[in-house]
Amino acid sequence: MTAERDHSAKASRPRSGAWFAAEARAGMIYRSWLRAEGFTPEVFDGRPVIGIANSWSELTPCNVHLRAVADAVKRGVWQAGGFPLEFPTMSLGESLMRPTAMLFRNLMAMEVEELVRANPLDGVVLLSGCDKTTPAMLMAAASVDLPAIMVTGGPMLNGKYRGADVGSGTHVWRFEQELVAGRMSQEECVAAESGMARSCGHCMTMGTASTMACMAEALGMQLPGSAAWPAADSRRYVTAQSAGQRIVELVREDLRPSRIMTRQAFENAIRVNAAIGGSTNAVIHLLAIAGRLGVPLSLDDFDELARPVPTLVNLMPSGRFLMEDFCYAGGLPVVMRELTDFLHNEHVGVTGKTLAETVAGAECWNRDVIASLDDPVQPAGSGTAVLRGNLCPNGAVVKQSAASPHLLKHRGQALVFDSIEDYHQVAGRDDLPVEASTILVVRGAGPKGYPGMPEIGNFVLPRKLLERGVTDMVRISDARMSGTGFGTVVLHVAPESAAGGPLAFVRSGDWIQLDVPARTLTLEVNERELARRRAGWAPPPCSSSRGYARLYSEHVLQADQGADLDFLVGASGADVPRHNH
């Protein structure tokens, strides 16, 4: 792990010179094959070679426009005197991949890391969009530590149905509840879905993709304002071209991710996440990225740093608006300017300027969408809370801004399910022994247990309660929740049940006390009884016998450590120890 790195000397020649600069066979062998693509010889004159890591895929609708974005990046790289080379990476389509895209985040991070290191690149532009593609690329960039800049693909245009805005994900959960309760027909659902995804781009709620785009900007890894430009807006391509220009300068300045993604940057990002009402998934991803850099960051940092910060951004799932509105209101620079008193304003990101300089001119054009500190959307302390207690010794999280205030202090009896499939089998039954005060517990959905820690934590309520008009209940799991989801859901319980955490020992009928203001989650079962249950417990067999899923299950860390693979924590650097020519 490399917490401190030597940046005292600028690279005397580009890294790519080790491939292209040599005369005779040693250089010819690299240059000649690349000239098969029709480049003139000047591209090998020592100019920075810029990789464009593209997660474009027709299996990832959120990223399907990234080839056009890459063209804009290339324009900028050529303009600034660099040599751009686009290459495909693995892509993770959140909506399609099974068992869950999160299972593959670390695989994509590993793949991008290896590709960047193995090739003759001096810097890299990271093109991402859908939820996991952004953290995977940041993790890779952190480990290789070559100059890097991110360009996220931007959100879809606002969804529309019957004259009203509908948010991706958020309205899927709402419409599902209406359908189960018999207040909406299947035909109406089909009509609604056709207006939900009106353009290319990622989910346009403040879900995980929008959150991670904002986190990339708050960390200083993408240009100011980049997170919010809609995918269909011409300014998305302007910002991509600017990023292409800037990466060439970043190589010349030798400004690397390890100098940008510092402890100060993570503190800024955590506070920004509180102000935007961002996804709980940001907790896991930021922990994983910090782990690659050797930046000390703990789960408790998220609670402590976020507590004094009010929610300023009024976006679904916590609020009313969508990313298009956020963009037109001024986007993240407005939020970061508003948070001046909470942020490290001297922090320098990919712009090469301080944060204070970067956001100095930011103006808010709609206070309904981005509130001021004096009149916030929700008061300080309404962001993601970190819970502790005998049910979650290593922590759990709950997104207060998306929860029901009356349930934030709640005592109820547990109804326990060993898997989400077990729950779904009975959720529609009239004889399910459940009341609105019941606490629903689903286990077996953590990183090892599922495997991959799926987004099922905000599972739909039992049908008979939905029919009675119940809209929220306390739900507890070792799973994650979609960033577009909502409800009083306790997530990321660690250790997970498959790793022998106390969640494995809860039984239906046990009393559980949730006290979010006190940050506690308590299973009201005494230690002796818990020890007795633990003695009779055996870990479930590994769910995968081969391949990547087995590697993942054997090496994945718990949620409070970012769910990275244990052998990927830390940096690797850009050096290639051997070559074959």
Binding site for ligand FES (CB under 6 A): 62, 94-95, 130-131, 168, 202-203, 207, 209
The nearest distance, CB 185 to ligand FES, in angstroms, is 25
The nearest distance, CB 423 to ligand FES, in angstroms, is 23
- Give the H/E segment covering residue 426: helix 420-426
Sorted by sequence, the CB contacts under 8 Å of residue 357 that are 6+ apart come out as: 351
| Number of neighbours of residue 538 by Cβ within 10 angstroms | 7
Is beta strand 123-128 parallel, antiparallel or unpaired with respect to 439-442? unpaired
The nearest distance, CB 60 to ligand FES, in angstroms, is 7
CB-nearer residue toward ligand FES: 209 or 391: 209
CB-nearer residue toward ligand FES: 93 or 120: 93
CB-nearer residue toward ligand FES: 132 or 463: 132
The nearest distance, CB 370 to ligand FES, in angstroms, is 21
CB-nearer residue toward ligand FES: 209 or 474: 209
Sorted by sequence, the CB contacts under 8 Å of residue 493 that are 6+ apart come out as: 391, 392, 396, 446, 476, 477, 478, 501, 503, 521, 559
Separation of alpha carbons 496 and 481, rounded Å: 15
Dihedral class, residue 70 (left if φ above 0, else alpha if ψ from -120 to 50, else beta): alpha
The nearest distance, CB 542 to ligand FES, in angstroms, is 29
Tokens of 226: 């980049």
The nearest distance, CB 54 to ligand FES, in angstroms, is 16
CB-nearer residue toward ligand FES: 139 or 415: 139
Tokens of 255: 């400004």
Residues 208 and 131 sit within 8 Å (Cβ to Cβ):
yes
Give 136: exposed, middle or buried? Use CB within 10 Å, 0-12, 13-18, 19+: buried
The nearest distance, CB 112 to ligand FES, in angstroms, is 18
CB-nearer residue toward ligand FES: 242 or 482: 482
Tokens of 237: 């391509």
CB-nearer residue toward ligand FES: 414 or 481: 481
Sorted by sequence, the CB contacts under 8 Å of residue 485 that are 6+ apart come out as: 169, 170, 173, 317, 402, 455, 457, 458
